[in-house]
């Protein structure tokens, strides 16, 4: 079994990007300066580093996914969507 760590790392990166965009859009719209600041942020750098570290392992992870891993990934996606929606609503 390959596990799902690398796939989860990519989902975390998607969450970091989505939440950052939502924050800026709510504030004053997403500007080019916001993109530059985001790309220089430690949060982006850390998430990107983790997501790309072993990205080539993702196809094997998905091909060998178990029911429990699928449920775990489903929960991760649910949590990501909930976090982005909370950011949209201003709950964070």
Q: What is the DSSP string of 15-51?
A: HHHHHHHHHHHHHH---HHHHHHHHTSHHHHHHHHHH
For residue 1, what pLDDT is reported?
46
Residue 35 CA to residue 64 CA, distance in Å, equals: 36
pLDDT per residue, tens digit, the chain (92 aa), is 468 999 999 999 999 999 888 888 888 887 888 888 888 889 899 999 999 999 999 999 999 999 999 999 999 999 999 999 998 888 65
CB 8 within 8 A of CB 73: yes
Domain that holds residue 54: 5-89
For residue 90, what pLDDT is reported?
82
Which residues are within 8 A (CB) of 48 and not within 5 positions of it... i.e. 6 or more apart?
Answer: 13
Domain count for the chain, please give it: 1
Q: Give backbone dihedrals phi and psi of 32, rounded to 5 degrees, phi first.
A: -60, -35
């Amino acid at each position: 079994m390959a596990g799902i760590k690398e796939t989860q790392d990519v989902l975390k990166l998607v969450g970091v990007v989505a939440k950052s965009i939502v924050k800026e859009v709510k504030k004053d719209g997403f500007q080019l300066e916001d993109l530059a600041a985001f790309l220089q942020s430690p949060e982006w750098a850390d998430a990107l580093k983790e997501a790309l570290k072993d990205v080539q392992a993702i196809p094997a992870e998905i091909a060998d996914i178990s029911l429990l891993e699928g449920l775990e990934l489903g929960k991760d996606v649910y949590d990501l969507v909930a976090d982005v929606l909370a950011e949209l609503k201003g709950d964070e």
